[in-house]
Amino acid sequence: MNRLTILGSGFAVANQNQENSYLLFQGSNRVVLIDCGNNPVGKMQRIGVSIIEVTDLVLTHAHADHMGTLPLLLMDMWLMKRTTELNIYGLKYTLDKAKSLLSVFDWEKWANMFKVNFVEVSDEGIQKVIDDQVRIFTGPVLHLIPTVGVRIEIPETGKTLVYSCDGEPCENLDKLAAGATVLLQETAGPGKGHTSAEEAGKNAARAGASELIFIHYPADANESTLVQEAASYFEGKIKIGKDLMYFE
């Protein structure tokens, strides 16, 4: 199986229909969680996956809506008797914040705690961080704090799935998104550190993407208007991302 599921599609303020934005990739050898969202345990149960199966966690940046539940995620894994190692990837800035957050709960003193490997990713250019039947890359994007976007290449199917994460249009995002089969683009709105629907359409067009999916958009946004604004610049398929939508 090679499947990317939107566990949460919402803005920084979640709602009854949308959790904060986070994703799960299921491959043959890897189960990769991208950010933590609100309730990864419950959301993953809904698609038949246990958090124990997660092999890797990519933290895109140190904002609460993306990694605020990290201590609870690790505690739940520990309470469920996880024994295998967990790799956590992120920029140095992000990992430092993650370690500080975890230290509040003295996590390293938990009895029989499984090993956690913190893997620092580059803040310059595109870097391959996983190469195991699928190839996963990170690259810095332009947000309010240090942040990375994520690119997933699946040689078996020839598909490329790209998550912009939070950020405004920038050269590195163009490189990450180049030739994407699916571009999951944050659409929080115009302004510093974020992207409007119009800009999302331009991003997808520059990338030569086949399909554009909006994610991390305000709950009160007019979905038809978002699509129309992007369609002025992008001729491919455009959809509004929803929780539990998936791509194979």
Q: Could you tell me what percentage of the chain is helix, strand and coil, using 3-state DSSP and rounding each to the nearest 5? A: 25, 30, 45
Question: pTM of this prediction?
Answer: 0.97
Alpha-helix runs per DSSP H in 104-216: 171-177, 197-207
Rounded mean pLDDT for each run of 10 residues along the chain, 248 residues in total: 96 94 96 96 97 98 97 98 98 98 98 98 96 96 98 96 98 97 97 96 98 96 96 98 97
In the DSSP assignment, the letter for residue 115 is P
Q: How many CB atoms lie within 10 A of CB 224?
A: 9
Helix/strand number for the chain, H first, E second = 7, 14
* Domains contained in the chain, CATH given: 3-247 (3.60.15.10)
Dist CA 21 CA 11 (whole Å):
7
